[in-house]
Copies of this chain bind each other. A is one copy, B any other.
């Protein structure tokens, strides 16, 4: 049995992590913590856990967490993880960090988008970007996983084959992404009140979202050259799920029909347990993936343009599901344990 801790248990990602880990046959949750006024049973905070787990959620005590765990999940707000990670790694624990703190290798880009100086350059350098479809081998031995953001997960997976194969103009990528409200975390602000969002729909941070540099970093590697996408996120009046509609322009070489494109995607992802490519003309929708760790991808051949529709559950493949997928890889468990 692997002993794991969840730090940041009261957010949506933390709550989801507990749900998945409770059903994992090779894992025992040994510590649950969060920024919290006074210690409280996690089942009092989330009554759905009543009768399923008795642990008390309290302020994180790093020494205690290190003593009780083999692996630690950090589901903390951005800019907070980097204060905790060094001590955990030093004590020999493996860490899966769901925040953005170790995703962007260029610290100055991180600092621009997250408005805080990066305090842990050493571990930033060694962190592994936890997208199994691209980095499975490195994940296996990683000490510190930078679990990808929700928008980046779906954006990168949706275009990786086209960029890797050099079939599209890398500078033409437009990602129009729409996310459910849990994507923003359990943030207490007027703009996230029910009546502000229900029956509403809006774009935000147009071409200025903090996930854009994370996407650009990975797409640049895939394309083999510096790539900057257009990224426009939108807020959907629903709880869970991200649907990305991606517009790309073919470059001169690419003439493949839609059926052929679909084949290329299937081949690219043929060993991936959590990427499903739709048949030509078939498009994923949120309900196909919400509640699962799958990323579903559909390809539309539009002449000079290619349009990709891709969908994930932002709390699963976009956060906690992918974190557990990474844990499974790191620990040699079957990759889909507790995820299917």
Give the copy number. 4
Q: Which of B178, B186, B202 contacts A234 (CB 8 A)?
A: B178
Interface residues of A in 177-200 (CB under 8 A from B): 178, 180-182, 186-190, 192-200
CA distance A291 to B19 in the complex (A): 11
Q: Please tell me if the beta carbons of A188 and B186 are within 8 angstroms of each other in the complex.
A: no
What residues of B have a CB within 8 angstroms of the CB of A190 in the complex?
Answer: 186, 188
Q: Contacts A47-B288, A174-B174, A190-B188 hold; do A309 and B206 have CB atoms under 8 A apart?
A: yes
Q: Which of A274-296 contact B (CB under 8 A)?
A: 276, 278, 282-292, 294, 296
Size of interface on A: residues with Cβ below 8 Å to B: 66
The interface-forming segment of A59-67, A88-96, A238-246, A324-332 is A238-246
In the complex, identify which listed stretch (A48-56, A132-140, A156-164, A215-223) lies at the interface while the others stay far away. A48-56
Q: How far is the CA of A176 from the CA of B230 in the complex (A)?
A: 13
A307 at the interface (CB under 8 A from B): yes
Measured between alpha carbons, how far is A237 from B200 in the docked complex, in Å?
10
Q: In the complex, are the beta carbons of B201 and A238 less than 8 A apart?
A: yes
- Among the listed B193, B278, B284, B309, which residue makes an inter-chain contact with A193, where contact means beta carbons less than 8 Å apart? B193
Q: When A188-B190, A203-B243 are in contact, do A287 and B48 touch as well, CB less than 8 Å? A: yes
**Residue in contact with A201 in the complex, picked from B178, B188, B196, B278, CB distance below 8 Å:** B178
- A302 interface contact, C-beta 8 A: yes
B residues near A181, Cβ cutoff 8 Å: 193-195, 198
Contacts of A199 in B (CB 8 A): 199, 238-241, 286-287, 290
Asked if A232 lies at the interface with its beta carbon under 8 angstroms from chain B, I say: yes
Residues of B within 8 A of A287 (CB): 48, 196, 199-200
Contact of A286 with B201 in the complex, beta carbons under 8 Å? yes
A142 at the B interface (CB under 8 A): no
Residues of chain B within 8 A (CB-CB) of A234 are 178, 243, 245
Q: Mark A33-62, 1 if CB is under 8 A from B, else 0.
A: 000000000000001101110000000000
Contacts of A243 in B (CB 8 A): 201-203, 234
Tell whether A3 is near chain B: CB-to-CB under 8 Å.
no
Is residue A247 within 8 Å, beta carbon to beta carbon, of the partner chain? yes
Provide the bound-state CA to CA distance between A230 and B188, in Å. 33
What is the CB-to-nearest-CB distance from A276 to chain B, in angstroms, rounded to a whole number?
5
Measured in the bound complex, the distance between the Cα atoms of B176 and A203 in whole Å is: 12
B283 touches A203 (CB 8 A): yes
Given A181-B194, A186-B195, A203 and B309 contact (CB-CB distance below 8 Å): yes
What separation, in Å, do the CA atoms of A331 and B188 have in the docked complex? 42
Given contact pairs A194-B196, A201-B238, enumerate 12 new A-B contacts (beta carbons under 8 Å). Answer: A178-B201, A180-B195, A194-B194, A194-B239, A198-B198, A201-B236, A203-B285, A206-B309, A230-B247, A230-B307, A232-B307, A237-B237
